[in-house]
């Protein structure tokens, strides 16, 4: 497997932001996730929940609600504005003010014609969804208290609104309230506290389901405005509700961190008189669940503990497989750490700032597995705050460590770093070419002479860097004419090739000499999660979200023989069952047949010279191999060598002195920085 000196970095204090809202689009199988920091992420539900798109947030932009209208995504927040997102370019399209104070909820009707928002001032505002904009239509009858939750009836003619202490049903045509249903306050001391109806769901059969701060899930009849049934789910709040598409199952998220499922089952088998019955309880969160969504085969929940949990519903899954396992997504599927390979610098990307660190140095050599004495501690060189309110979308540091670049939604900034002894200073490059106004992805060439900036319509701008400044060289455009944003860039070591991957799963390869598109890798059904160009063979190695891997020879414009063998023989079952995508592909210059990969839980070296394992061979065979003699080892070893020494890995990078940098972010550390969860009495404590 090879021996490496490892820099085990744990000083990246990345804190994932809590999840505030979820919206599922059943047609495109996409899940939109809004976080506390205002960022919106799009996950592809049928592609192993790969995080396809990230739209970074802004300061002071609390999103309270998300809603899909067709394939358009809208959000509304406490700043009182409604925002539509440009999902192709992964940015905010426009924001309009609703003029009703902070907005607590937003929901679109099924017809896709109207959006309703619930405002602090007690109004439900209807917006008409036009071709390219939304337009305020009218207010429904104004209420005294704020509108916390809204739900449309399928017909689009009625809307249920949850507010303080009550639920109102509005006729959308007239704008008048049809029924007013009072939610009970809690007993005892909580009697004086208002009951907040955190969530309502209007079912097509006229049942209204509400979840409130008393901990009740209540079922109401919209014809009579009466309570049908109430279930006491928790002692705390029921914060979120979601119903499945065929309305036979309902999930409620509570502030205890539990998700409670209700099912619409017939009490007498074979008859049609169905009732909502509380069935299962899932506990996968430690903190408040702020949003739940029931998708076709799973329950997705997110909350204050910043993890997105996908709990599969086994009764709806045809074949149990790795794709249908319980999944917890803690970290973004993007790189947040960049390494200046030649100078030992690390760039950490936080939402609002960048940090530049110099790696520590150690003394001498040790036996494998032992930790070395640290001669020089790692040192923070730079803390670079973002100008403006936008959060950082992408950043990069050049391999030589001289250039730092970052981009927000509105601007791109390039800095030059001066590092003599202990004096660190940066200068901003002031005159940037106009094309570099914003970038979706940034990448430096291996000799640090060029900057590649992924821009709109899948194009890549090339800028040459020199002591004096930077100069726009040209633009690379794909032949396919795709408009999707690029999320991965890879430049070859010899400066000849550049590969780009976009959200349409397309991978384009450009010749940097001619600045023309060279070829396109055949489109695969799954998204590319990591890729790299081999320094000697110039083969593009790609990792996909469904854990497949491909090697594509750029020069021959075809898959390599090894890649075809992999496809033919298939990968090992245990490899396919991993639930986090590979985030980086590296090559060991010492041994050209070695490919280094990592995901959140492991580090893997693939030796392309060794045979591939089949399902019968032992996959994690390091310990077995150790116990064997030299001769036997040959017959037992296979291409995959997995190292699980490190956990919760954010990034692994190979730097020029043959040492590995492993950036870990232990989940325990994340948990300690979260606010305290609701205290619960547990049995025998």
Partner 1 sequence: MTERVNRFVLCTSGDSVKVYSTRTEEWLHSLQGHTNQVTGIALNRANHLQVYSCSADGTVKLWDFIDGILIKTFIIGYPLFAIYVSEKHDGIVFLHIAMDTDSKNECFQLVAVHLPKSAEQEVEAKELSAVSSRISPNPSCTAFGREGQYIAFARHLQLNVYFFRKQKTYSFSLKATDKKGAKNAFTCIACHPADDCIATGHEDGKIRLWRNFIHTKEYTYSTQHWHHNAVNTLCFTPEGTNLLSGGIESVLVQWQYGAGNRKEFLPRLGGSILHVSTSSDGQLFCTSHSDNKITVIESSFKVCGVIQGLVKGDAVLTDLMIDPRSKALVLNGKPGHLQFYSLMRDKHLYNLDIVQQEYIYEAGLDQFEVVKAAFDINGYWLATVEERGQKSSDLEFVLKLWAYDERTQSFVLNTTITAAHTDRIISMCFSSSEETTMLVTTAEDGQFKAWCQGADADTQQDQSFWSCEFVGSYHNLKPTNCSFSADSSLLAVNFQEVITIWSPDTWELLTTLCQPPGVVRDLCFGRLSCSKYLIATTTRNLLCCWNLLTCALEWSTSVEVSKLQPDPLSENVAAFSYQSKHTDLFVFKPSEPRPLFTHKNMCSEKIHRAVFVPREEPLNNCDESSQWLNRSQLYFLTQNMDLLTFSTATEEDRMLSSSKRLVIDDSVAVTPFYLLLGKHRQQQQKLNTPSHPAADKPQQPQGSVTITELLHTPAHVLPAASVLCSMLVSSLLISNTGVRKDPLREMESSEQEMNSEKEEEHSEEEMEACDSQQELRAQGSVDEVTPKLSKAQERELKRIRKTDFSWMTGLIDSKP
561: left (phi over 0), alpha (psi -120 to 50) or beta: alpha
**Which CB, 273 or 420, lies closer to partner 1?**
273
Per DSSP, the three-state class of 641 is: strand
Specify the DSSP class assigned to residue 116.
E
Residue 266: CB minimum distance to partner 1, A: 8
Bridge-based pairing state of the strands 649-655 and 640-643:
unpaired
281 vs 296, which CB is nearer to partner 1?
281
Would you call 535 helix, strand, or coil by DSSP?
coil
Least distance (Å) from partner 1 to the CB of residue 232? Answer: 5
Q: How far is the CB of 667 from partner 1 (least distance, A)?
A: 16
Element (H, E) at 209: strand 207-212
Q: Which is nearer to partner 1, 280 or 328 (CB)?
A: 280
C-alpha–C-alpha distance, residues 224 and 354, integer Å: 58
CB of 230 to partner 1, least distance (A): 9
Question: Please, what is the Cα angle at 354 between 352 and 356, to 5 degrees?
Answer: 165
- Smallest gap, in angstroms, from Cβ of residue 328 to partner 1? 14
Least Å distance, CB 216 to partner 1, is 10
Q: Could you tell me which residues come within 8 angstroms of residue 256 by beta carbon, excluding any fewer than 6 positions away?
A: 234, 235, 236, 283, 678, 680
Q: Enumerate the H helices of 140-286 as residue ranges.
A: none
DSSP state of 99: S
Beta carbon nearer to partner 1, 122 or 211? 211
Residue 125 or 231: which CB sits closer to partner 1?
231
Minimum CB separation from partner 1 for residue 261, in Å? 8
CA proximity to 516, closest of 486, 475, 481: 475
What whole-number distance in Å separates Cα of residue 73 and Cα of residue 95?
Answer: 12
| 263 or 558: CB nearest partner 1 | 263
Residue 250 beta carbon to partner 1: minimum distance, rounded to whole angstroms: 12
CB 463 within 8 A of CB 470: yes
Burial class (CB in 10 A: 0-12, 13-18, 19+), 212: buried
- Cβ neighbours of residue 550 under 8 Å, at least 6 residues apart? 521, 524, 541, 542, 544, 559, 563, 566, 567
What is the Cα–Cα distance from 343 to 309, expressed in whole angstroms? 39
Nearer to partner 1, 148 or 289 (CB): 289
Best CA proximity match to 547, nearest among 617, 498, 609, 619: 619
Which of 278, 633 has the CB closer to partner 1? Answer: 278
Q: Which is closer to partner 1, CB of 270 or CB of 481?
A: 270
To partner 1, the closest distance from the beta carbon of 92 in angstroms equals 42
Of residues 373 and 683, the one with the C-beta less far from partner 1: 683
Question: What is the residue-wise DSSP string for 363-410?
Answer: -S---TTPPPPEEE--EEEEEEEPSSSBPEEEEEE-TTS-EEEEEESS
In angstroms, what CA-CA distances link 636 with 562, 597, 623, 633, 678? Answer: 20, 22, 12, 5, 51
> Smallest gap, in angstroms, from Cβ of residue 278 to partner 1?
5
Beta carbon of residue 33, minimum distance to partner 1 (angstroms, whole number): 26
Least spacing, CB of residue 445 vs partner 1, in Å: 48
Distance CA 436, CA 416 (A): 16
Q: Helices (DSSP H) in 108-238: which residue ranges?
A: none
CB of 315 to partner 1, least distance (A): 5
Q: CA 146 to CA 16: how far, in whole Å? A: 30
Which lies closer to partner 1 via its Cβ, residue 242 or residue 407? 242
Q: Is 264 helix (H, G, I), strand (E, B) or coil?
A: strand
Q: Which is nearer to partner 1, 132 or 315 (CB)?
A: 315
215 vs 581, beta carbon nearer partner 1: 215
Residue 439 CB, nearest distance to partner 1 (Å)?
44
Paired tokens of 165: 């202490």
CA distance 457 to 152: 36
Q: Smaller CB distance to partner 1: residue 229 or 416?
A: 229
Judged by beta carbon, residue 155 or residue 266, the one nearer partner 1 is: 266
In angstroms, what is the minimal distance from the CB of 290 to partner 1? 23
Residues near partner 1 (CB under 8 A): 229, 231-233, 263, 265-270, 275, 277-281, 314-316, 683-684
- H-type alpha helices, 68-196: none
- Alpha carbon 507 to its chain's center: 21
List, in order, residues 6 or more apart from 390 with CB less than 8 Å away. 56, 58, 408, 409, 410, 411
């Amino acid at each position: 497997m090879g021996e490496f000196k490892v820099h085990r970095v744990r000083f990246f204090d990345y804190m994932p932001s809590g999840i505030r809202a979820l919206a599922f689009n059943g047609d495109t199988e996409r899940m939109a996730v809004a976080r506390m920091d205002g960022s919106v992420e799009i996950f592809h539900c049928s592609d192993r929940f790969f995080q396809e798109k990230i739209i970074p947030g802004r300061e002071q932009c609390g999103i309270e609600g998300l809603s899909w209208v067709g394939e358009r995504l809208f959000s509304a927040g406490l700043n009182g504005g409604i925002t539509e997102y440009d999902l192709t370019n992964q940015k905010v399209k426009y924001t309009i003010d609703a003029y009703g104070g902070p907005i607590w909820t937003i929901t679109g009707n099924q017809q896709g014609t109207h959006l309703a928002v619930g405002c602090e001032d007690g109004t439900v505002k209807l917006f008409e969804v036009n071709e390219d904009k939304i337009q305020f239509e009218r207010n429904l009858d104004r209420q005294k208290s704020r509108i916390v939750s809204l739900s449309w009836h399928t017909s689009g003619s009625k809307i249920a609104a949850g507010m303080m202490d009550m639920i109102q049903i509005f006729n959308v045509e007239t704008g008048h309230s049809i029924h007013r249903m009072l939610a009970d306050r809690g007993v005892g001391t909580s009697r004086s506290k208002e009951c907040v109806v955190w969530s309502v769901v209007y079912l097509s059969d006229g049942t209204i389901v509400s979840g409130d701060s008393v901990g009740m899930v209540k079922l109401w009849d919209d014809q009579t405005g009466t309570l049908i049934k109430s279930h006491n789910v928790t002692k705390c709040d029921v914060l979120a509700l979601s119903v499945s598409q065929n309305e036979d199952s309902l999930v409620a998220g509570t502030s205890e961190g539990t998700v409670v499922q209700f099912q619409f089952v017939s009490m007498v088998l074979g008859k049609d008189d169905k009732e909502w019955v509380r069935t299962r309880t899932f506990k996968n969160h430690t903190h408040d669940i702020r949003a739940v969504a029931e998708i076709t085969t799973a329950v997705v929940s997110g909350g204050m503990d910043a993890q997105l949990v996908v709990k599969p519903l086994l009764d709806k899954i045809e074949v149990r497989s790795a794709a249908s396992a319980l999944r917890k997504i803690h970290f973004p599927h993007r790189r947040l750490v960049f390494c200046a390979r030649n100078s030992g610098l690390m760039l950490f990307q936080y939402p609002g700032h960048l940090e530049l660190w110099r790696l520590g140095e150690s003394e001498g050599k040790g036996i494998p597995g032992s930790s070395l004495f640290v001669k020089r501690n790692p040192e923070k060189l730079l803390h670079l705050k973002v100008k403006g309110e936008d959060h950082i979308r992408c950043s990069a540091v050049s391999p030589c460590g001289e250039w730092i670049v970052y981009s927000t939604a509105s601007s791109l900034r390039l800095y030059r770093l001066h590092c003599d002894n202990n004096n660190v200073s940066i200068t901003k490059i002031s005159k940037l070419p106009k094309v570099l106004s914003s970038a979706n992805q940034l990448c430096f060439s291996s000799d640090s002479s060029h900057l590649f900036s992924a821009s709109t319509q899948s194009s890549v701008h090339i800028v040459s860097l020199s002591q004096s400044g930077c100069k726009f060289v040209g633009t690379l455009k794909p032949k396919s004419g795709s408009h999707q944003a690029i999320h991965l860039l890879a430049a070859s070591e010899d400066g000849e090739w550049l590969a780009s991957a976009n959200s349409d799963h397309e991978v384009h390869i450009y010749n940097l000499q001619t600045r023309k598109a060279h070829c396109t890798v055949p489109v695969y059904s799954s998204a590319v999660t990591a890729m790299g160009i081999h320094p000697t063979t110039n083969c593009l190695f790609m990792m996909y979200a469904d854990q497949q891997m491909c090697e594509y020879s750029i020069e021959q414009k075809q898959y390599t023989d090894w890649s075809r063998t992999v496809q033919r023989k298939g990968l090992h079952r245990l490899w396919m069952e991993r639930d986090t995508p590979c985030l980086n592909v590296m090559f060991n210059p010492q041994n050209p047949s070695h490919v280094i990969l990592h995901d959140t839980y492991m580090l893997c070296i693939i030796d392309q010279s060794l045979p591939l394992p089949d399902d019968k061979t032992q996959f994690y065979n390091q310990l077995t191999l150790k116990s064997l003699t030299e001769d036997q080892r040959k017959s037992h070893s296979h291409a995959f060598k997995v190292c699980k020494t490190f956990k919760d890995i954010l990034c692994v990078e190979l730097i020029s002195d043959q040492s590995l940098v492993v950036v870990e972010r232990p989940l325990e550390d994340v948990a300690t920085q979260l606010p305290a969860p609701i205290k619960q009495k547990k049995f025998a404590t």
